[in-house]
Amino acid sequence: MITVCIPTLNRYDLLERLIESAEAGSVQPDKYLIVDNGGKFNSFGSHPKVELYVPPRNIGVAASWNWLIRNSQEIRFICNDDIEFASNTLETIVKYFTDKCILFHTRFDRHNNDYSGFLISDYVFNLVGEFDESISPSYGYFEDNDYDFRIYRDFMSRIENGDSFPDYQGIPYEHERSSTIARFSAIQMKEHHEKFKIAKSNFKKKWNMLPDDLPYD
């Protein structure tokens, strides 16, 4: 089972493009599991591969990722709605998947990893735990940095021979960054800056430092 897992808020146009590009690949997914935080995704509602969850409110990125992981099995690719699949995106994921792996767009490195699209196994999720929903409540910043550090702290030292991270440069796809924010109104941008500050403060309270200062070595 290959599941493409996608949280979305307001870029349904790009979500449709994502699905079209995935269907055009050399390997296609068995299912698209979508958390519709905006509650307005109708175009692909009748698509035979789409399974839609519409929460009662915007639950944010971390909670969406946790829900998607808990409700998918085997090979799951979690991605933003603003990525476009390459012809070999899922072919690459299938090729390098192991039951102890986590793969990113670029090589796993705290300065380069990209949670806009990532593959995570049940083993890693059960060992490291859920994404921290308290850092950016009902929003989406710094939960990826938090998870990175927890992987390095709790996970890397427990895997024999480092074989959970395949020697591969990354998952191929194109990413149109900051697409959700690009659709924000002036009021929404003001709310965005406020929520970003809250997330930044919560992260610093948790680790007593910001992401660039975390002690990876």
- What's the pLDDT at 160? 47
Structure tokens that stand for 176 in this block: 């149109």
- What's the pLDDT at 169? 60
Q: How would you write the pLDDT of the chain (217 residues) with one tens digit per residue?
A: 999 999 998 888 889 999 999 999 999 999 999 999 988 877 655 688 999 999 999 999 999 999 999 999 889 999 999 889 999 999 999 988 888 777 776 544 444 557 889 888 898 898 889 999 999 999 889 999 999 888 877 766 655 445 455 555 678 887 766 667 666 678 877 887 888 899 999 999 999 999 888 887 6
CB-based contacts of 209: which residues, under 8 Å, 6+ apart?
none
- Predicted TM-score (pTM) of this structure: 0.87
- What's the pLDDT at 108? 46
d(CA 188, CA 9): 13
- What's the pLDDT at 171? 82
Q: In total, how many domains does the chain have? A: 1
- What's the pLDDT at 50? 92
- What's the pLDDT at 187? 83
**Residue 196, Cβ density class (10 Å: 0-12 exposed, 13-18 middle, ≥19 buried):** middle
Sign of CA dihedral 203, 124, 115, 33: negative
Nearest to residue 69, comparing CAs of 153, 162, 166, 147? 147
d(CA 184, CA 179): 9
CATH number at residue 127: 3.90.550.10
- What's the pLDDT at 189? 76
Q: Please provide the DSSP assignment of 84-131 as one string.
A: EE-TTHHHHHHHH--TT-EEESS-S-TTT--TTEEEE-HHHHHHH---
Question: φ and ψ at 33, to 5 degrees?
Answer: -105, 115
- Domain ranges, residue 105: 2-213
Structure tokens that stand for 43 in this block: 């175009």
d(CA 52, CA 36): 7
Query: What element of type H or E holds 212?
Result: none
